[in-house]
Amino acid sequence: MAQNTTVPTAGHDEHHHESTVVFGFWVYLMTDCIIFGSLFATFAVLRNQFNGGPTPHELFEFGGLGLETALLLLSSITYGFGMIAAHKTQINSVIMWLGVTFLLGLGFVGLEVREFAHLIADGAGPDRSAFLSAFFTLVSTHGLHVTCGLIWIVTLMVQLMGTTEIPERMMNKLTCLSLFWHFLDIVWICVFTYVYLASMI
């Protein structure tokens, strides 16, 4: 197992296997993956159980979905630029990129909450049919993860403010959040493909 005790300056040669902390976080992500796998399996079973209620064709629209996808995809690359800046110890640049990532993520959550509010107002809430129960559970679990990621981003921005160097411990935090954020983007690929697009064929 990776047991390197890299000093911050040598951190340039390594990526997310510097420490057991990052490996531990990776294992957590794998368990998270199993949670999402279970929710996807549930959705796959219940996706046609409309109980006379609205179908995906009546509920989903391409515009909002495309915008949400674009925001999350953009936030992935802006976080990546933040990590590159972190490896170069350009702290102001890291804070700036984290801020951009935060705004994009906030936009995503905002659009999702707006979509949910519309659905519920139209009588298509999670209590309407098995399909909608499974839909809300899966998509809001992802949304909740993104929200936690937003809180985490703000926390790290505050911790970075006023510092002049990035110690290994801070680098580990940034790396863990990087894994988390990119992982959520991967889950979103599966959501927009199998939950939205596959239901709109």
Partner 1 sequence: MSNPNTSSSGESHGSVSSYLIGFVLAVILTVLSFGVVMSHSLAPTGTLAVLSVLALVQVLVHLHYFLHMGGGSEARWNNIAFVFTVAFVSILIVGTVFVMANTSMNMMSR
- Residue 62 touching partner 1 (CB under 8 A): yes
Q: CB within 8 A of 113, min separation 6: which ones?
A: 143
SS3 content of the chain, % helix, strand, coil (to 5): 80, 0, 20
**Minimal distance in Å, beta carbon 3 to partner 1?**
10
| Residue ranges of E strands in the chain | none
**Minimal distance in Å, beta carbon 106 to partner 1?**
20
Among the listed residues 8, 14, 55, 106, the single contact to partner 1 using CB under 8 A: 14
Among the listed residues 54, 55, 73, 103, the single contact to partner 1 using CB under 8 A: 73
Residue 61's CB is within 10 A of a number of other CB atoms, namely 13
Token pair for 165: 């160097």
Residue numbers of the site for partner 1 (CB under 8 A)?
A: 1-2, 4, 12-17, 23, 26-27, 30, 33-34, 37-38, 40-42, 44-45, 48, 62, 66, 69, 73, 76-77, 80-81, 83-84, 87, 179, 182-183, 185-186, 189-190, 192-194, 197-198, 200-201
